[in-house]
Structure 1
Amino acid sequence: MGSRAHYATLQGGTFGLYYSQWGAHHLELDLLPGPEPATRFARRQREQSSWMWEGECDGACLIDHDERRLLLFCHCDGDQSYRLAALATLARTWPGWRVEWAYDGPQQIKVVVGHAAEVTPPSPQAPQAGEEWCDELVTVIHQGRTRAYLVDSAAAVIGIGARFLDDYLSAWPTITSCPEKVVAGVHLDLDDQSAGIWTTSTLRGALLDVGQRWPGWHWSNWGDRSAEQARRVAGALTVPEPDLAEGLRALAAEFDRHQDVDSATRSASLLLGLTDILIAGARSSGLQVHVHTDNAFTHRPMDLTSDEKAVVHAAIAGVMTSCR
């Protein structure tokens, strides 16, 4: 249970690794104020001697002061526009730093800091299609005709391989219009055996053994550029584009709310309140109380100054002005 996050820091050659049970859901908000506040925040979390299992890690960042590099991935509300706004704002609040998305998730961060000698691609799992929560777009061109599908994992499409593609395409229901929010996509051109994938989340090594699963195919990693898929299906399907202004408005509102009771600490706050009530009742009855705080409480919220908050608001406003 939780939204687990890792925070890694490198400074003066010294490595630090920290953990929060609730930090991944809005990790980007804790990074927005810039390198010094973000580092201070990261080091307030629980210090760790080892990385969590990759499948448990919902978000992570590397704050590398030596290389002036911020490498991160997180949920970002599962919204292209919000994520674009967060990255644009980070570029302003981290001046002189490289702000980069970790498309291969925690394993990419581990490789950068030298904690993994080999990256193993995940075991393929068939993507599901036709469910309400499917928000990843697959488009296919065959004999000049374009078809489209919604699945729950674009990266998993790579895992099924070319050999079994026809079986899945015949089982998936097609769509004729695209929902407003899509978080990833795969485009397959069966006529020339070329393909591309983009995501606003992570691929977690899905492209590492693509040559074995798709012999003779050429695959491209488009990063988060949904426009690449849109260009290839132009006229057949409209792929939604991120709205930076809308994302900035949502980011500003989330940042303000996050400073009061953020999503990462709301559950912990409720648990702490309930614990206080139970403790008071027990002690009023003359009982001796011992409280064990487990992972539900392993998160320390931000402690920003007014000036640090103002930096974030100024950066958001600056991006908003530049996009008009």
Structure 2
Amino acid sequence: MRLITTVAAIAMAAPALAEEVNVYSYRQPELIAPLTDAFTEETGIKVNVAFLNQGMVEKLEAEGDRSPADLVFTVDISRLNSVVEAGLTQPVESEALLATVPANYRDPEGHWYGLTTRARIVYASKDRVADGEVTTYEDLADPKWEGRICTRSGTHAYNVALTSAMLVHHSEEEVKEWLEGVKANLARKPQGNDRAQVKAIWAGECDIAIGNTYYMGKMLADEEQKEWADAVNIVFPTFEDAGTHVNISGVALVKSAPNKENAVKLMEFLTSPKAQEIYAAANFEYPIAPGTTPVDLVASWGEFTADDTNLMEIAKRRADALRLVETVDFDG
């Protein structure tokens, strides 16, 4: 009798084990594990995550309709939009997603939805930069910053997105002049990641740096890097006629998704207040669902008004932004 019961139990469990959703992610599995674990606990649907360092579009194109991928997770609007532009996604119509994702953080046609935001801010030396000395992104080209700015490569996705946003608010000629001005103010050739810029401020190589907000949380959680973080303040610049530039982490449904229903369930879960708070806390980012708030550490960095430009408008200007960065030889 015991054997029959065991066999029956296994047979009943088999369909549940078959319920799954497959994710290709530019975010490390450990960063999204709290989310996928919570989703599985709530729904019984297993989430399989394949982490990719690069080449997501190429991989999906090579796999074609045979791809096991249901969803793509990525950071940066240009990376997310590149999957859409390659014709690898399908639109999702969901009342839950429309209710929880603000219009400027989703594709108007439903091909992608934002999950969290991060601001592209200025890290400023506590010792060498006065309060109120940094106000706008445009101000970074002011000669008063000559030899005082550090940044990573101008062709990196985060900086290209900022330049793309500049193109939303200014003419191409004005943005070219701005890039030339920022380049003239660099203390060293663009190099390293955002954390490396904060280390350079700590070391006295420069006074201000361009970076993403969440790196402050990551540095404060690292014994060695905490000293770097303690040397700077976070400043939220704005565009002269708008708010602070933000970028997103986001999700899109793959065109050939074999587990579409489960994938949409995961998308809706990820934008729910419960998941938003888990995700934002794990990555020191800002949740986007109405009624949600960042964790205390992130909130302590200060309040800001985000630029309300739809991120698709920024993504559309990526090619022009990259061309301008290369024209002025920003990294040279």
TM-score by length of 1: 0.26
Higher relative contact order (CA 8 A, sep 6+): 2
Higher fraction of helix:
2
TM-score (ref. length: structure 2): 0.26
